[in-house]
Each structure stands twice: as C-alpha cells, then as structure tokens.
Structure 1
Amino acid sequence: MQTTQVLLSEAHLGTKLNHAISGERRGEFGLLLAMLSADARDMAQFHLKGSDREIEERLHEQFELPKSQPLLSDMSKEQVIDHSLVFQQQGLAAFHLSQCLQPEAVVTRGAVPIEVSQVLANCSLVSKAKYTGDLTDEDLSINTPHFVDQLVQQRLLAEIIV
C-alpha cells in the first residue's frame, strides 16, 4: 500500500490512530506512528507564529539554550576558537566543557574558499597579489624616462667624468 499523503503530525492521521487503538490493531498503530515525521520541529507545539529568526530566538530564550555552534569561521576576519590545547593538557571532560561554553566552528578557513586557495597555491606571487588586491596594474608598469631625458642625463654624466 502506497500513500501520497505526507504525515507530519498526529493531526494528519485524523481518527485512524484512535480506531487502531480501540480495535486493538497493534500492527496498524505501529505502522501509523512509524509513518509520522521523525523531525521534532514538525510537531504541533513547535509551529509558532513569526519569522524564523524570532522563533529561534524565542526558543533559545525559553529553553535557556546556548548560542548555536557556528558552521564556518574565517581566520582573516575574526579570532578562531581552538580547544585543542585544552584537550591535550586537561583531557576530554575539559574539552567537552570548553566546547559547550564556547563552541568551535565546524570548518575554519581563510578569506578565500578552498578551491580558490588550491589554484592560488600553483600561481606566482604576482598573480596571488593581484587576486588579493595587494598589487594593481599601475604597480606593474615600469616608469622609464623618455629617450630625450636619458640623453640629457648621459651628457651630464659625461661632463662630470671629463
């Protein structure tokens, strides 16, 4: 039997759950419960009104949860949290405590994505400086004096030598 209806909560089942209980059909009752969504956020008590940001802040406040673990940290913009020294010196329990109090980011990287950094590793220093904006085309231009100015400088040097 295949159903096209997605079951998120008990409200979607209607009276089927009640009939399975009253008819002592344990198999059907178990099947109906197994078809429900396993995600706790789909339960009715978590369907709150407001924007996602407001809901998340309200739930964090209500359940006294710490701030969520950052997924990505950029070493070039902020100080990166590193609990490896705590783990080495004080052990696993201290590491877990540090992680709960101030969570590390899942991924730590620099200012450029990993794909771009792999390409830049194979480039010359000039190409890297151009990419980061440290070097412009004006810096690369050579300011050679005009031919006439070179002749004047040579005549001056010749007069000094003679």
Structure 2
Amino acid sequence: MAGKGTPGTALLAKQRVPHTLHSYEHDPRAASFGLEAAQALELEPARVFKTLLADVDGSLTVGIVPVTAQLDLKALASAVGGKKARMADVAAAERATGYVAGGISPLGQRKRLPTVLDTSAIEFATLFCSAGRRGLEVELAPDDLVRLTNAVVAPIATA
C-alpha cells in the first residue's frame, strides 16, 4: 500500500508479523473514530480496539480496549502496579506516541510505554486496531499485538 506506511506498519513488516491493512474514507466529523472504523469496514465492533493513554502515578500508560467499551482507569492502574490513573492530556499522548489522536496505534510508538490489552481481545483469532493513521486499521492476532507491545493482558474495559 504505497503512501500508507506508518511506524506501526514498518514494525510489523520488520518483525514479519502476519497482518492485513484495511483502509476506509475517514470522516473528520465522526463522533467516535473506532465505531466509524467498525462501521466503514463492516466489522463486529467488539473486534475493533482503541488505543488510549492514561497517566498512571505520573507515567504514561497505554490501554487497549474495544471501541464499544470505556477504559476502567482503576483497573488499568492496578494492571501495571499503580495506584491512581487519569486520562492523559492529548498533547502529551501525541508527543509520546508520535501519532495524532484518533489515529494512535499501539504499535511503533515513539516511546516504549507500559501497555495493557483488555482480556476480551484473546477471544478473537484476529483483532483490529489503528495502524497509525485515521482511516487505516491493521488486523493481526492478539498474541502478536501482546508480543510486539510487551503488553499485560487484564480486564480493563467497562461497559
């Protein structure tokens, strides 16, 4: 896919991880970028995951949850041995990851951050997450996502 490369897709290629890129026409007016991706690609929303950043005891931490859920900040903090978490400032998240909000990929981030993947992800043979650009999703096995991000798998999503 010429012109579609991101640090996340470069990492996947370098590590020779089986994956498939899926692009769609992003609407900047979309209320939820994740739900927009699920709808545009005709996917079960529970298989589409969003990458969120939180400040856990002063350190940025990545939480990856289904687009149909919210990030349970207390559970995220607990999963990384922290006490208190709050959503990270958007500018701080963009600086740390090198990606624009709404297109933050858990893969190929500028800084290696502690990462937690919601347990619901392991129910699927493959999941979808941002490939590093709005309108570009990557499909890969949850085990590969865990390995590449050194993620902890824990229940961090809430309805």
**Bin of the TM-score, shorter chain as denominator length:** under 0.3
Q: Which structure has the greater CA radius of gyration?
A: 1
Higher helix share: 1
Q: Normalization by structure 1: what TM-score?
A: 0.21
Larger relative contact order (CA 8 Å, sep ≥ 6)? 2
Higher strand share: 2
Q: Normalization by structure 2: what TM-score?
A: 0.22
